Amino acid sequence: MTRSTGTPDIDTVAAFLDAGHVELAKSVSAFATEKIEPLETVDDDAQARVQAREILQILGAAGWCRYAVPADFGGFSDRVDTVACCLIREALAAASPLADSVFALQCLGALPIALYGNEEIQRQWLPKVADGSAMAGFAMTEVNAGSDVRAMTTRAERDDGDDGHEGGYTINGSKTFITNAGLADFYTTFARTSEDGLSTFVVPGGARGVRFVGAQILSAPHPLGEIAFEACRVPSSARLGQEGDGFEIGMTTLDRLRPTVAAAACGMAARAFDEAKQHATNRRQFGRQLSRFQLTQQKMARMATDLAASRLLTFRAARASIDGETGVTLRSAMSKYHATEMAQRVVDDAVQILGGVGVLKKHPVDHLYRAVRALRIYEGTSEIQQLVIAREIFRD
Ligand X SMILES: Cc1cc2nc3c(=O)[nH]c(=O)nc-3n(C[C@H](O)[C@H](O)[C@H](O)COP(=O)(O)OP(=O)(O)OC[C@H]3O[C@@H](n4cnc5c(N)ncnc54)[C@H](O)[C@@H]3O)c2cc1C
Identity of the residue, 263 or 374, whose beta carbon is nearer to ligand X in the bound complex: 374
Q: Closest Cα partner for 23 from 40, 37, 36, 10?
A: 10
Q: Which of 37, 142, 275, 379 is catalytic?
A: 379
User: What is the DSSP secondary structure assignment for residue 165, as one 8-state letter?
Assistant: P
d(CA 309, CA 335): 10
d(CA 387, CA 192): 24
Interface residues with ligand X (CB under 6 A) are: 138-141, 146-147, 177-179, 218, 222, 224, 374, 377-381, 383-384, 387
In the complex, the smallest distance separating the C-beta of residue 148 from ligand X, rounded to whole angstroms, is 6
d(CA 358, CA 191): 43
Q: Give me the DSSP letters along 43-80.
A: -SHHHHHHHHHHHHHHHHHHTGGGGGS-GGGT-SSSS-
Identity of the residue, 8 or 146, whose beta carbon is nearer to ligand X in the bound complex: 146
d(CA 340, CA 383): 12
**What is the chain's Cα-based Rg?**
21
3-state SS assignment for residue 172: strand
In the complex, the smallest distance separating the C-beta of residue 2 from ligand X, rounded to whole angstroms, is 24
Please indicate whether residue 119 is annotated as part of the active site: no
Identity of the residue, 32 or 384, whose beta carbon is nearer to ligand X in the bound complex: 384
Identity of the residue, 41 or 179, whose beta carbon is nearer to ligand X in the bound complex: 179
Please identify every residue annotated as catalytic: 379
